[in-house]
Structures are given as C-alpha cells and as structure tokens.
C-alpha cells in the first residue's frame, strides 16, 4: 500500500522512543514514575459529570449535533470570556466550539495556508503548529524562544524575505513547554507587527487558568486590535480536567472563525451534544475547582523545583502552566539525561529536543503527577544524585 507523501513525511511522534523504553521497563515488572504527560490527574469535577450523564439520557442528544454547536454553548463561551478577561464576543460570529483545541489548531492551517506559504512557529513549541503547516503544504519558519529573552520570540530578527512569504504567526502563553508567560505589552506589539506584515495571529492559550501565586495570565484577545488580526484557541481540557471529553473553542476574528467553521463543516459533524452540555456547566457554574487544583499544582511545583535544583538542574518556579522547564546538568543532552533518569531510577520526563532544536539542553516535567507517585518520584530523583556521585568517584 503506497501512502501519500504527506503522511510519509510526518515526523515520528515526539515521545516514541521514551514510550518504547518505558514499555520495556514495565514488561520487566519495573515501576516507572512519570512526570512526562500534561494530562490532569484529577477527575472532571462531579457537577460537570452529573450534567453530562443527565444530557446523555436525553434522546435529543443522541442525534447529529450542529457543526457550529449549540447556541447556548457559544453564548457560555462568550460570557466566560467577558467575565474572565472583560472581552465581549458575538457568540454567532466570533466563537466556535471545537472537538478539543488541538483539532482547531490543526485545521486552521487549511484556512490560510497555500503551497509554500510560511508559518512562523515558536521553537521549542507544541508540535501541532509545525505539523499542520506541513500537512497544508506550507513551510514552518522557527522562531527561537530563548531563556535570555524570557522565552518570547524576537520578531524583529525575522528576515524580510521570510516575512514576505509569511501568512500566519503562532504564539502560546502560558507556554508549553517553557512555562513562560507573556504580558499585554508584548501582545500589543504583536498586533502592531501583524498589521504591518499582514499576518494572521493564532494564539494558543489552554493554560491561562493554570496559574500560581495570585498571578493571572492575560488573553491575547485583550490586546488593542487583536480581533482585527487573529484568533485565540482555548480549551476546557486543563482548566476543568476534561482532556478525555475533547472540547475546546476558538474565539476572535469573524472572518477566521467563519473560515474554520466552513472547513470543519466539511470534515466533522460537531461535538457530541451531551459533552456540549457538560461544557456549558463547566463554564457557567462555580469556578472554585480551578483554584483548588492550582493550589495542589503549586505545592507540587515547589517540591519538584526544589528537588531539581538540589540534584544539579537549573529550574525556576513557573508562574503558570502545568510544566517545569529545567536546564539539564552539565555534560548531558536532554535525551541523555532523560534516558539516564529512566534507566537508573525509573523516572520518566520529557527531553526538550522533542519540542524543537531550541529545546536542547532542557527537560520538561509535568505537575500532573498524583501525590503518592510524586513522593516516590522525588525520592528517586534524589537517588539519581547518588548514582551520579558514584560515577564521578569511579
Ligand atoms: C500548547 C497546547 N495547545 C493545545 C493543546 C491541546 O489541548 P486540547 O486537549 O484542547 O486538544 C495542548 C495539550 O497538551 C497544549 O499543550
């Protein structure tokens, strides 16, 4: 069977090698403690599940949903943005629910990219931005995110010949994997830059609600003129522990939202309606669960950062996101260090190189590790220090 060049050229899944090694360890009966995956370990809050079960019992929700979703859901999204960020959106023209934000992030490339168009993509970054670009026959141009620049892209260094062909700019704050945050000044500059160079800005913001120490991330859509140049993707996955239900949304520029709606109506048949009702419940009911979970993530963050620094990694406590982005000890690549931890002490983390060339020298640890495993994981990390000392002595 001959596959398309498009599929043949897909890069291997980021964690393939690590997953293979973990599986081998488990097959030998060894327990692996994983800090690798950014999937909340708490269940979806009970009031959301109750609404889902109730809606699942209603035959009206057993049929095809509308591809642009229930008007009540679009309204709930608009109201949520108004309450959280003080921005108003027209629920009919500026809001589009998605089958998880990843789905919309992947599909929007097909709305804007023709052959050989360039897409500006952060490096390190969530791999879907570049993969979807390539699937749409576009070409990613990588914007390095450097620690000395607070992991914000330096837009002024993009060469003119690239900007001439560039159609779309991806941004993601609070950032995966670096956990960096952006402020409104930065986003205001981005809007000016996008207007000047006729770029569509796609801001991916699934982590705006996972924040610590009273820090409140901003939305790109709060920037002056943001709605003229772009859209924001958001998700219920991390905010309400709903990764398994697959629901997110895009908000912003009406032309972009309409294009995505048109594309999607030809590809999928919408979000199962019971899940839409669960999402309405999540967005409109008490938001207390967010603070409760953030308090737990914050405690874990502090324990992990302290341990990492004590064994020779350089890690700073993030203000937001589910991740700690730490510099590996000297003498290791991110892959060497990840492999060493896995083999010596059975701890899985994610090598920074998996997120792009500029992720080299770093590893990512996720805060979504249940407390019991966290305690074991920390003790194993501490044990790794002694394996290292032994090696140094030998
Ligand atoms: C930066 C980023 N964007 C988007 C997503 C996708 O989230 P969703 O579950 O809404 O598809 C993730 C998931 O990990 C992510 O890290």
132 Cβ below 6 A of ligand 1: no
Residue 193 has pLDDT above 70, yes or no: yes
Lookup: tokens for 302: 């502090």
203 Cβ below 6 A of ligand 1: no
238 Cβ below 6 A of ligand 1: no
Count CB-CB contacts under 10 A for residue 147. Answer: 15
Nearest atom in ligand 1 to the alpha carbon of residue 102 is: 11
Nearest atom in ligand 1 to the alpha carbon of residue 101 is: 10
Whose Cα sits closest to atom 6 in ligand 1? 102
Specify the pLDDT at position 192: 98
Alpha helices in 166-231 (DSSP H): 184-197, 226-229
Ligand 1, from 37, 203, 231, 235: best to mutate by most atoms within 8 Å of Cβ? 235
Q: How confident is the model at residue 87 (pLDDT cuts 50, 70, 90)?
A: very high
DSSP state of 13: P
Residue 14 has pLDDT above 90, yes or no: no
Give pLDDT tens digits for 108-144: 999 999 998 999 999 999 999 999 999 999 999 999 9
Q: Which residue's entry shows tokens 């699937």?
A: 135
DSSP letters for 309-373: HHTT-EE---SBSSEEEEEPPTT--HHHHHHHHHHHH-EE-EEGGGG-GGGTTEEEEES---HHH
Which residues in 97-115 are b (16+ Cβ under 10 Å) and which e?
A: bbbbbbbbbbbbbbbbbee
Distance 237 CA to ligand 1 centre (A): 8
Q: In what order do the strands lie in the sheet with 139-144?
A: 95-98, 248-252, 230-235, 200-204, 166-171, 118-123, 139-144
What is the model's pTM? 0.96
Specify the pLDDT at position 17: 75
Q: How confident is the model at residue 390 (pLDDT cuts 50, 70, 90)?
A: low
Residue 74 has pLDDT above 60, yes or no: yes
Specify the pLDDT at position 16: 75
Q: Which of 67-76, 106-115, 170-179, 380-389 has the lowest mean pLDDT?
A: 380-389
Distance 234 CA to ligand 1 centre (A): 8
Alpha-carbon distance of 38 to 172, in angstroms, equals 15
Nearest atom in ligand 1 to the alpha carbon of residue 39 is: 14
Specify the pLDDT at position 386: 74
Distance 101 CA to ligand 1 centre (A): 6
Q: Are 112 and 194 within 8 A, CB to CB?
A: no
Whose Cα sits closest to atom 4 in ligand 1? 102
Specify the pLDDT at position 391: 52
Q: Please state the rounded mean pLDDT for residues 19-23.
A: 85
Specify the pLDDT at position 71: 98
Ligand 1, from 44, 129, 176, 182: best to mutate by most atoms within 8 Å of Cβ? 176
C-alpha dist (Å) from residue 218 to 174, 182, 209, 325? 9, 8, 10, 21
Give pLDDT tens digits for 290-339: 999 999 999 999 999 999 999 999 999 999 999 999 999 999 999 999 99
239 Cβ below 6 A of ligand 1: no
Q: Are 342 and 21 within 8 A, CB to CB?
A: yes
Nearest atom in ligand 1 to the alpha carbon of residue 204 is: 3
Q: Which residue's entry shows tokens 């800090």?
A: 35
Mean pLDDT of the residues in the chain = 95
Of 233, 250, 252, 163, the C-alpha closest to 199 is 163
Q: Which residue's entry shows tokens 């290292």?
A: 388
Residue 7 has pLDDT above 80, yes or no: yes
Q: Are 61 and 67 within 8 A, CB to CB?
A: no
Specify the pLDDT at position 45: 98
232 Cβ below 6 A of ligand 1: no
366 Cβ below 6 A of ligand 1: no
350 Cβ below 6 A of ligand 1: no
Nearest atom in ligand 1 to the alpha carbon of residue 125 is: 1
Q: Which residue's entry shows tokens 């393939």?
A: 16
Q: Are 134 and 113 within 8 A, CB to CB?
A: no
Q: Which long-range contacts (CB under 8 A, 24 or more apart) does 233-237 make?
A: 233/98, 233/101, 233/104, 233/105, 233/202, 233/203, 233/204, 233/205, 233/206, 234/101, 234/205, 234/206, 234/208, 235/100, 235/101, 235/206, 236/279, 236/282, 236/283, 237/40, 237/100, 237/101, 237/206
Residue 393 has pLDDT above 60, yes or no: no
Give pLDDT tens digits for 333-387: 999 999 999 999 999 999 999 999 999 999 999 999 999 999 999 999 999 977 7
DSSP state of 211: B
Whose Cα sits closest to atom 14 in ligand 1? 38
125 Cβ below 6 A of ligand 1: no
Specify the pLDDT at position 394: 46
DSSP letters for 18-32: HHHHHHHHHHTT---
Q: Which of 18-32, 89-103, 156-170, 209-223 has the lowest mean pLDDT?
A: 18-32
Alpha-carbon distance of 23 to 19, in angstroms, equals 6
Calculate what percentage of the chain has a pLDDT beyond 90. Answer: 90
Distance 331 CA to ligand 1 centre (A): 32
């Amino acid at each position: 069977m001959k596959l398309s060049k498009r599929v043949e050229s897909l890069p291997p899944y980021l964690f393939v090698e690590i997953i293979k090694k973990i599986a081998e360890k488990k097959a030998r009966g060894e327990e692996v403690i994983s800090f690798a995956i950014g999937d909340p370990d708490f269940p979806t809050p009970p009031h959301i599940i109750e609404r889902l079960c109730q809606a699942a019992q209603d035959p009206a929700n057993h049929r095809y949903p509308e591809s642009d979703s229930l008007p009540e859901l679009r309204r709930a999204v608009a109201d949520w943005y108004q309450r959280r960020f003080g921005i108003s959106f027209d629920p009919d023209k500026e809001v589009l629910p998605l089958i998880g934000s990843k789905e919309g992030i992947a599909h929007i490339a097909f709305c804007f990219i023709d052959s050989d168009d360039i897409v500006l993509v952060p490096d390190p970054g969530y791999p879907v931005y570049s993969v979807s670009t390539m699937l749409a026959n576009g070409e990613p141009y990588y914007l390095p995110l450097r620690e000395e620049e607070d992991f914000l892209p330096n837009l002024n260094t993009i060469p003119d010949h690239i900007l001439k062909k560039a159609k779309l700019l991806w941004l993601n704050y609070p950032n995966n994997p670096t956990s960096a945050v952006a402020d409104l000044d930065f986003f205001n500059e981005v809007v000016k830059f996008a207007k000047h160079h006729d770029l569509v800005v796609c801001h991916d913001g699934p982590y705006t609600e996972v924040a610590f120490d009273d820090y409140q991330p901003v939305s790109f859509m709060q920037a002056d003129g943001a709605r003229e140049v772009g859209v924001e993707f958001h998700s219920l996955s991390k905010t309400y522990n709903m990764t398994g239900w697959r629901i997110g949304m895009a908000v912003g520029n009406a032309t972009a939202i309409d294009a995505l709606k048109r594309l999607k109506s030809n590809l999928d048949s919408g979000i199962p309606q019971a899940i839409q009702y669960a999402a309405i419940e999540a967005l409109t009911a008490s938001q207390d669960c967010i603070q409760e979970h953030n308090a737990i993530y914050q405690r874990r963050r502090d324990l992990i950062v302290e341990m990492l620094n004590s064994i020779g990694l350089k890690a700073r406590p993030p203000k937001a996101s589910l991740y700690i982005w730490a510099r590996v000890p000297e003498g290791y690549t991110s892959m060497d260090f990840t492999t060493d931890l896995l083999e010596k002490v059975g701890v899985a983390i994610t090598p920074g190189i998996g997120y792009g060339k500029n992720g080299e020298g770093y590893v990512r640890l996720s805060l979504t590790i249940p407390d019991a495993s966290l305690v074991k994981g920390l003790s194993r990390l501490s044990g790794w220090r002694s394996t290292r000392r032994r090696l140094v002595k030998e």
